[in-house]
């Protein structure tokens, strides 16, 4: 995990493995900031959707129990949103380094679209 002190807060950049472990232990709230279309086509199971274009830090859940971790396609949008959350007063936020692309490249499971039926389907890729 990389950390950066921003104002009076810590901005963390997590690896795929760190996010996967914390997600499996239910220690984080994972928020996808991609578009609704990107999310519907494929997403990390359990991730909530809060698109960058509609992002409002005041709508985020509190951090009393779980850390908030943002992700997008490549890491650029999630870093932008994480910085906005810090500016809104959140003291510890994180984002996924490399985004959903890194998640898929690492062979982590996700929800995709069955191209034959158009229905959601659990997917995984070979590492």
Q: CA dist 83 to 8, 71, 103, 115, 126, Å?
A: 12, 13, 21, 36, 33
In angstroms, rounded to a whole number, what is the distance separating the alpha carbons of residues 77 and 83?
10
- CA 81-87-90 angle, 5° bins: 85
Beta strand pairing call for 2-6 and 9-14: antiparallel
**Catalytic residue at 102?**
no
Given a contact cutoff of 8 angstroms between Cβ atoms, the answer to whether 93 and 12 are in contact is: yes
* 9, 29, 30, 72: the active-site residue: 72
Active site residues: 72
């Amino acid at each position: 995990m990389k950390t950066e002190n921003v104002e009076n807060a810590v901005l963390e950049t997590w690896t795929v493995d760190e996010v996967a472990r914390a997600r499996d232990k239910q220690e984080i709230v994972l928020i996808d900031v991609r578009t609704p279309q990107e999310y519907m086509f494929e997403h990390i199971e359990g991730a909530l959707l809060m698109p960058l274009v509609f992002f409002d830090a005041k709508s985020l859940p509190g951090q009393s129990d779980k850390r908030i971790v943002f992700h997008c396609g490549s890491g650029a949008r999630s870093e932008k949103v994480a910085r906005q959350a810090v500016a809104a007063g959140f003291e510890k936020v994180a984002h996924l380094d490399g985004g959903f692309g890194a998640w898929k490249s690492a062979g982590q499971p996700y929800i995709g679209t069955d191209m034959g039926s158009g229905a959601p389907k659990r997917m995984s890729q070979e590492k």
